[in-house]
Amino acid sequence: MRTTKLLAGILVAASLFAQDAIERPKVLGVAHMAVYVKDLARTRQFYEQFLGFGEPFTLPQKDGTGTRIAFIKVNDRQYFEIFTEADRGEGQLNHISLYTDSADRLYTYLKSKGIEVMSDKGAVGKGQTGNKNFNVKDPDGHIVEMVEYMPDSWTAREKGKFMPAARISDRIMHVGVLAGDLDKSMAFYGGILGFKEFWRGSSSPRMLSWVNIRPAEGDDYVELMLYGSLPAPDARGTKNHASLMVPSAEKALAELKRRAAQGLYAPPEGKPMEIQVGVNKKRQINLYDPDGTRIELMEPDTVDGKPAPNSTAPAPHPGQGQ
């Protein structure tokens, strides 16, 4: 009996050691942001004609009668996914996506950390476009898709294509998502996925507003938009956002005004298309797609070439408000 118990203890210890020994594969950057839209034609006008991006492929509705998802290409590894279906009651955001060098190893690693995989089938499958992927949720319920680009995928098939010279940007610099508890968000993105904080800012000294974190192996980043009480779903589109890098906000604005004069864009009331300097000391232009999702154009460098100072304001606590 003692030998049996000893053996069982050894096996348990070995199992725990094996779990602890699982290494996280690389998280390489932001793959895409997926949003819900109500009018595909108007949305295509905004992303393709106004912003100048290409559309390499679509996925049909289940009944085959129309388009369910349109894929808007920013570069060979970054997209916007446009969902033409009713939202889940949480605003326009469907999900954000990060890409990795191994979806299989990331799946095993996250499971070892106690992260629940949505629609778990016990293994990583391929999506309809041919890339390996699986979904998890962050502490605020945002779906985070983990994707590995495969050499036989539609993405690989269109490598180097559908990137017209007219596109206003060639990179998604970051995606911003609402966060109601900074500690929980950092435990997930930082403690488990290996993201590192590199800047925090605030619109007032009373409370922290933003924390920027990037994967250890990548340059794209996630901006945590801090709220003790999250905004109502119909107000989240201007908070959850994507940021496109532009070398010159002035040149980008001049071109966007030219396109807007052709009837391709009309700013929402009270939200003019203009250059602003953010708390991070970077020039930016805020645009809004037909459903109100904010698309931010931002220069990569600060106006004076010096880093913006970090805020020392306290983070909001759940239920505290912003």
> Given this model, what pLDDT does residue 318 score?
75
Give the DSSP letter of residue 233: G
Question: 141 to each of 95, 107, 138, 180, how far by Cα in Å?
Answer: 10, 18, 5, 10
> Given this model, what pLDDT does residue 7 score?
53
Q: What is the pTM of this model?
A: 0.91
The one-letter code for the residue type at 172 is I
What is the spatial distance between Cα 96 and Cα 144, in angstroms, rounded to a whole number?
Answer: 5
Helical spans, DSSP H, in 193-278 = 249-259
Residues 6+ apart with CB under 8 A from 247: 299, 300
Token pair for 39: 């009018």
> Given this model, what pLDDT does residue 233 score?
85
3 state SS for 128-147: CCCCEEEEEECCCCCEEEEE
- Please state whether beta strands 93-100 and 125-126 pair in parallel, antiparallel, or not at all (unpaired): unpaired
Element (H, E) at 109: helix 103-112
Q: Which residue carries 């020039």 as its tokens?
A: 283
What is the spatial distance between Cα 240 and Cα 5, in angstroms, rounded to a whole number?
Answer: 53
Sign for the CA dihedral angle at 260, 223, 40, 131 comes to positive
Contact 169, 246 (CB under 8 A): yes
Question: 268 to each of 53, 96, 287, 293, how far by Cα in Å?
Answer: 21, 25, 9, 11
> Given this model, what pLDDT does residue 200 score?
98
Side-chain-side CA neighbours of 221 within 13 Å: the count stands at: 19
Contact 218, 27 (CB under 8 A): yes
Domain residue limits, the chain: 27-157
Contact 12, 201 (CB under 8 A): no
Contact 122, 267 (CB under 8 A): no
What is the spatial distance between Cα 90 and Cα 289, in angstroms, rounded to a whole number?
Answer: 17
What is the spatial distance between Cα 190 and Cα 186, in angstroms, rounded to a whole number?
Answer: 5
27-157 topology per CATH? 2,3-Dihydroxybiphenyl 1,2-Dioxygenase; domain 1 (3.10.180)
Convert the pLDDT of each residue in 55-64 to its tens digit.
999 999 988 8
> Given this model, what pLDDT does residue 4 score?
53
Contact 269, 263 (CB under 8 A): no
Question: 94 to each of 27, 54, 134, 219, 270, how far by Cα in Å?
Answer: 21, 21, 14, 23, 26
User: Which candidate, 113, 74, 114, 120, places its Cα nearest to that of 97?
Assistant: 74
What is the spatial distance between Cα 72 and Cα 54, in angstroms, rounded to a whole number?
Answer: 6
Which of the residues in the chain have pLDDT under 50?
A: 17
